[in-house]
C-alpha cells in the first residue's frame, strides 16, 4: 500500500508527541502517514465481529478467518481482546489466535481495557494495543465498568505499559456520534475526550459510530471539531456501523473530511447482525468495493476477501449482511 507498506519500523511516542522507532513489530508500520489516494482498513471481525454472537466459533475457524484476511491483503487485524473471559467468553482464546497468525504479515492488534489486559496482550505477542474510551459517561460505565474519567486514567497506565514494551496504542473513541443511553453527544464533548486521549501518547483515535446513529453531516462536524482540537499529531479514523444503512455514505463523508483510516468487519459481522434492525459493523468487502470504485488503493484483493466472508457465512450457518456476497463486484457477471 503506497505511503505505509515500505516502512520497516513502527513507532511509539516519546512523551513529547514525537514518534520514535521500535523494532519488536511487523514490517508494516501502522503509524506511518498515508498518501491521499490510499486507504488503510483494519478488519475487526475476529474481535468485534465475533464477540457477541450466540453460537460457538471454533479456534480453528477463528484462525482460518484471521489468516484468510491477511492472505487477502489486510494489513491490520484486530484479532481478539484481553478482557475477562466471564464478560466476553468468545474472546477467551485470543492468545491462541494471535499465536497462529504470521508475525511479519500484518499488525496483530488486540483490545484491552486495563493494565492487566495490556500485560497479557504483550505477553501474547501483540503488535498494537487498542484502548477504548467513551464520549458518553453512561456508556463508559456500561462498557468498561468505569467512569469516563477513570477510563482515561487507566488508558494513561496502559500507554505507559505500551511505551515500556515499545508498542503503539490506538484508541477507539466510542459513542462519538451518539449514545444508546444518553442520546446525542455534543461535538465539544467528543473533542474534549479526543484531546485527553491525545495527551496519553496514542498514535491514533478511531471515532466510533457505536450505535449507527451518524449521518454524513455528523461525520463532517465531528471530524472537523476533533481535528481542530488535536491537530496533526495523531491520526484519525472511523469505526462505522450500518445499523440504519448509512455506513458507506458516512465513509464517503469521512473521505471528504480527510479520513484515510477505517475499521470494518468481514461479512458485516458485529453488534447483532442476526436481529432485524440491529446490524453490525460496516462490511469490509463492501467498503473495499466502494474504495476501489473511487480509485483509492487499499492493497486488498476483493475476490479473496469475498471468499473469506463466504467461508465465515458457511461456518456460522447464518446469512450475513454483505452486498458483495449477494451481488458480487460490479460488472463481475460479465467475466463469467
Catalytic machinery residues = 272
Q: Is residue 13 part of a domain?
A: no
Q: Is residue 261 part of a domain?
A: yes
pLDDT at 21 over 90: no
Query: Per DSSP, which regions of 126-272 are E strands?
Result: 128-134, 169-174, 204-208, 235-239, 261-264
Render pLDDT for 270-285 as a digit per residue (tens, 0 to 9): 864 332 344 689 999 9
Q: Is residue 25 part of a domain?
A: no
* Number of domains composing the chain: 1
Assessment of whether the complete model's pTM goes beyond 0.85: yes
How high is the pLDDT of residue 26? 58
Q: Is residue 336 part of a domain?
A: no
Instruction: Read off the pLDDT band of 14 (50, 70, 90).
Output: very low
Q: Is residue 210 part of a domain?
A: yes
Render pLDDT for 180-192 as a digit per residue (tens, 0 to 9): 999 999 999 999 9
The enclosing domain of 146 has a CATH number of: 3.20.20.70
Q: Is residue 8 part of a domain?
A: no
Q: Which three cell numbers stand for residue 171?
A: 484508541
pLDDT at 126 over 60: yes
C-alpha closest to that of 309 among 299, 298, 295, 320? 320
Domain range for 94: 38-329
Instruction: Read off the pLDDT band of 15 (50, 70, 90).
Output: very low
Q: Is residue 294 part of a domain?
A: yes
Q: Is residue 6 part of a domain?
A: no
Mean of pLDDT values over 236-250: 96
Q: Are residues 300 and 72 in contact, defined by beta-carbon separation less than 8 angstroms?
A: yes
Mean of pLDDT values over 104-111: 95
Helix, coil or strand: residue 134: strand
Amino acid at each position: 500500500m503506497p505511503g505505509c507498506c515500505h516502512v520497516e519500523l513502527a513507532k511509539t511516542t516519546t512523551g513529547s508527541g514525537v514518534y520514535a522507532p521500535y523494532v519488536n513489530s511487523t514490517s508494516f508500520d501502522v503509524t506511518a502517514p498515508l498518501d491521499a489516494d490510499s486507504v488503510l482498513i483494519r478488519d475487526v471481525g475476529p474481535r468485534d465481529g465475533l464477540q457477541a454472537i450466540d453460537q460457538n466459533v471454533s479456534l480453528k475457524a477463528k484462525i482460518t478467518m484471521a489468516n484468510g484476511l491477511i492472505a487477502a491483503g489486510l494489513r491490520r487485524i484486530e484479532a481478539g481482546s484481553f478482557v475477562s473471559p466471564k464478560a466476553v467468553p468468545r474472546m477467551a482464546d485470543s492468545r491462541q489466535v494471535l499465536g497462529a497468525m504470521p508475525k511479519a504479515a500484518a499488525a496483530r492488534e488486540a483490545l484491552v481495557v486495563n493494565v492487566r489486559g495490556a500485560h497479557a496482550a504483550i505477553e501474547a505477542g501483540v503488535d498494537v494495543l487498542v484502548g477504548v474510551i467513551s464520549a458518553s459517561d453512561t456508556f463508559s460505565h456500561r462498557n468498561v465498568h468505569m467512569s469516563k474519567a477513570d477510563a482515561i486514567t487507566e488508558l494513561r497506565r496502559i500507554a505507559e505499559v505500551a511505551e515500556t514494551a515499545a508498542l503503539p496504542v490506538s484508541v477507539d473513541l466510542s459513542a462519538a456520534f451518539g449514545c444508546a443511553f444518553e442520546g446525542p453527544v455534543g461535538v465539544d464533548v467528543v473533542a474534549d475526550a479526543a484531546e485527553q486521549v491525545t495527551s496519553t501518547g496514542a498514535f491514533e483515535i478511531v471515532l466510533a459510530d457505536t450505535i449507527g446513529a451518524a449521518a454524513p453531516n455528523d461525520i463532517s462536524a465531528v471530524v472537523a471539531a476533533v481535528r481542530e482540537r488535536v491537530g496533526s499529531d495523531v491520526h484519525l479514523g472511523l469505526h462505522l456501523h450500518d445499523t440504519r444503512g448509512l455506513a458507506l455514505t458516512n465513509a464517503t463523508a469521512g473521505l471528504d473530511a480527510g479520513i484515510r483510516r477505517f475499521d470494518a468487519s468481514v461479512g458485516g459481522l458485529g453488534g447483532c447482525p442476526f436481529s432485524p434492525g440491529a446490524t453490525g459493523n460496516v462490511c469490509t468487502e463492501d467498503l473495499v468495493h466502494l474504495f476501489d470504485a473511487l480509485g483509492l488503493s487499499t492493497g486488498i484483493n476483493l475476490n479473496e476477501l469475498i471468499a473469506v466472508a463466504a467461508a465465515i457465512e458457511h461456518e456460522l450457518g447464518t446469512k450475513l449482511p454483505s452486498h458483495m456476497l449477494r451481488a458480487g463486484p460490479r460488472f463481475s457477471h460479465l467475466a463469467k
